[in-house]
Structure 1
Amino acid sequence: MADLIRTLAVQYFQLVDPPTLALPPGNVLVQPAVQQALYEHMFDETLTPLPPTPYRTRVLKQILARIEESITDPEEDEILDSLMDAWGNLVVQPKPSALEQAQQLSTIKYTAPLQSPQTRERNVTILESQGLILSGGTTGNRTWEAALHLGSFLASPAGEALVHGKRIIELGAGTGFLSLFCARHLGVRGVVATDRELFLIENMRTCARLNQADGDIPFYPAVWDWGTRLEQTDEMSSMTGGGPLEFDAALGADLVYDTDLVPLLISTVRDLFSNYGVSQFITAATLRNEDTFRTFSNACEENAFSVEALPFESTPAEEQSGFFHSTNIPIRTFRISRA
């Protein structure tokens, strides 16, 4: 029972699309103890960060409908007052338009997949937009499936071993999800999260503050336009010890999506190997187009880079316990190093 409620609550705070939520069956939801647990873990107004009002309303409506369908004896079965009060509070809230919802940033809590043994949940809170706005660089305002796939790999013992105690740089960090997870939970010496857009860097700084409940974390956002020199900031000195800016490994998710970007990405990886001390680049690629990835793979070979497919695949969506993401399109994890 606790596992069912835990899975649903983790999906809820990640804002998983309501029709795909792992709702318990009606004969479970109708139980008073289960309804009370749902209220305490999902709909109590004192919880933070709460999902946006329209999302909470959709989810609770779905839950209440399933409970009502499962009531066989009105004398014995009922919906708890706590859930009905939550519903009443939600339906009177003003509703933003669809356009306003798409433009708003939501506070989303991602929870890592369960590992065995594990004594605590590992959460990362991100401020992002789930609206599909594909112009003006705003794709960086969303955490995409490849990042969740790579995060799932890093949450595993094999993945954590690649970054623990290391100096890490992330390319195309976007929301900063991967870097923040490394900084908060994976014991990195430091992680520099880079992107080319200043507004994304500022949003990462906001996200960093949301993840500092246990004190400062070694997370350093920085603007980096590929093909230029990465400038060391004062805050990075705690990672470098005042020495040159060097890293042990690089991370990147969903960077290989356009053949036009491949030459610049290859040049940047070569720069990391030659000038920043990087020994391996761990990347997750969504294989939307085999030709695009083949172009990248061939370019790696031409530059004497070794491309190794790591033995990690996403857990099927219906079996995931955290960092929930679609597996409809294959996502693969690769380690790139100098041959």
Structure 2
Amino acid sequence: MADEVRKLVAQYFQLVDPPQLDIPPGNVLLRPTVQETLYERMFDESLTPLPPAAYRTRVLKLVIARIEESITDPEVDELNDNLMDALGMLVAQPKANSLELAQKLSHVKYTAPLQSSSTKNREVTTIESRGLILSGGTTGKRTWEAALHLGSFLASSAGEALVRGKRVIELGAGTGFLSLFCAHHLGVQSVVSSDREPVLIENMRECVRFNHRGDGPFPFYPAFWDWGTPLEKTQELESFVDEDDLRFDVALGADLTYDTDIIPPLLSTVRDLFENYHVEEFIISVTLRSEKTFQTFLDGCESNSFNIELLPFESTPSEEQTGFFHSTSIPIKTYRILKAA
């Protein structure tokens, strides 16, 4: 029961589409302790930040419908009063139209896949819209499947070993999901989360307070980087760079090769990382939507004398995932790119 509830709670705070939620079976939901646990962990208004009201309403309706379908003895089987009260409050709220809902950014909490060595949840909170594809000229206002795939790899012992204790930089960070995960849970020395859009940089800064609740330093540094131009030092970068000696060990990137037009400046920036910032390896996760587009990237790596290696990591099938939930309907691959010896 604990694992079933944990998975539903993790999916719920990630705003997984309600029809795709793994709602426990009726015989589990009928238990009074389970219903009270769902209320306390998902629908209690004192929880913060909560998913948007429209999403909570859809999920709660599904849960209550499944409970009602499973009732065989009304004298024994009951619906939790707190759940019913929560639904009443939600349906009474004014309804936003679908366009407003699609454009509105929300707090999304991601839970890493469970590891056998730990039972503690590793969580990352971003500010984004899970249903938004393009807004304001950027695709960075949502976390894409390739980032969740790469996050799943970094959550593994092999992936964590690549970044623990290292100076990390992420290209095209968007929501900052990967960088925040590195800073919060993977023991990096530092992580610079770079993007070209100022609004995304501000979102990342806002996310820090939801991911860092301790008194010590949080090694997360947003930065503006328009590929093909020099990296711009933000106030955060200035605070930890010693005499302009800005260097990194590992670079990360996810879903960066979706358009052939951006591949030349991306390759220029990767070359810059190797030659001027001392990067030893670039780990990139790619959703293979277009073989032709990705081949353009591979050809560019070859012309720049980069060595590219496919890492032996496959996404867990969607139905078996325990965290960082994402679709595997389109293949996602992870590569290590090295400067030529």
**Contact kept? 2:222, 2:236, Cα under 8 Å:** no
Partner of 1:268: 269
Question: Hey, what's the Cα distance between the residues in 2 that align with 1:32 and 1:296?
Answer: 55
**Contact kept? 1:308, 1:334, Cα under 8 Å:** yes
Question: Hey, what's the Cα distance between the residues in 1 that align with 2:25 and 2:119?
Answer: 28
Question: Hey, what's the Cα distance between the residues in 1 that align with 2:21 and 2:147?
Answer: 20
Tell me, what secondary structure is at the counterpart of 2:96? coil
Partner of 2:67: 67
Deviation at 1:152, TM superposition (A): 0.6
Q: Does 1:192 align with 2:192?
A: yes
Q: Does 1:310 align with 2:302?
A: no
Deviation at 1:83, TM superposition (A): 1.0
Partner of 1:38: 38
What does the per-residue CA deviation read over 1:201-249, in whole Å, with 9 as the maximum and x for residues that have no partner? 1111111122121234111111111111113345335544345111101
Q: Does 1:218 align with 2:222?
A: no
Partner of 1:92: 92
Question: Hey, what's the Cα distance between the residues in 1 that align with 2:328 and 2:14?
Answer: 17
Tell me, what secondary structure is at the counterpart of 1:329? coil
Question: Hey, what's the Cα distance between the residues in 2 that align with 1:239 and 1:120?
Answer: 30
Tell me, what secondary structure is at the counterpart of 2:335? strand
The one-letter amino acid of 1:315's match is T
Question: Hey, what's the Cα distance between the residues in 2 that align with 1:121 and 1:77?
Answer: 32
Tell me, what secondary structure is at the counterpart of 2:139? helix
Tell me, what secondary structure is at the counterpart of 1:173? coil
Partner of 1:321: 322
Tell me, what secondary structure is at the counterpart of 1:269? helix
Partner of 2:25: 25
Q: Does 1:51 align with 2:64?
A: no
The one-letter amino acid of 1:143's match is T
Question: Hey, what's the Cα distance between the residues in 2 that align with 1:30 and 1:126?
Answer: 33
Question: Hey, what's the Cα distance between the residues in 2 that align with 1:49 and 1:175?
Answer: 17
The one-letter amino acid of 1:53's match is A
Question: Hey, what's the Cα distance between the residues in 2 that align with 1:282 and 1:309?
Answer: 10
Partner of 2:129: 129
What does the per-residue CA deviation read over 1:79-113, in whole Å, with 9 as the maximum and x for residues that have no partner? 11111111111111112111111121101111111
**Contact kept? 1:110, 1:323, Cα under 8 Å:** yes
Partner of 1:288: 289
Tell me, what secondary structure is at the counterpart of 1:139? coil
**Contact kept? 1:167, 1:188, Cα under 8 Å:** yes
**Contact kept? 1:286, 1:329, Cα under 8 Å:** yes
Partner of 1:102: 102
The one-letter amino acid of 2:54's match is P
Q: Does 1:256 align with 2:257?
A: yes
Question: Hey, what's the Cα distance between the residues in 2 that align with 1:20 and 1:133?
Answer: 19
Question: Hey, what's the Cα distance between the residues in 2 that align with 1:187 and 1:117?
Answer: 16
Question: Hey, what's the Cα distance between the residues in 2 that align with 1:331 and 1:124?
Answer: 22
Question: Hey, what's the Cα distance between the residues in 2 that align with 1:63 and 1:107?
Answer: 22
- Relative to the length of structure 1, the TM-score reads 0.97
Most deviating of 261-270 and 229-238: 229-238
Deviation at 1:133, TM superposition (A): 4.3
What does the per-residue CA deviation read over 1:289-308, in whole Å, with 9 as the maximum and x for residues that have no partner? 11111111121112111110
Gaps of 5+ in 2: none
CA RMSD of aligned residues (A): 1.3
Deviation at 1:117, TM superposition (A): 0.9
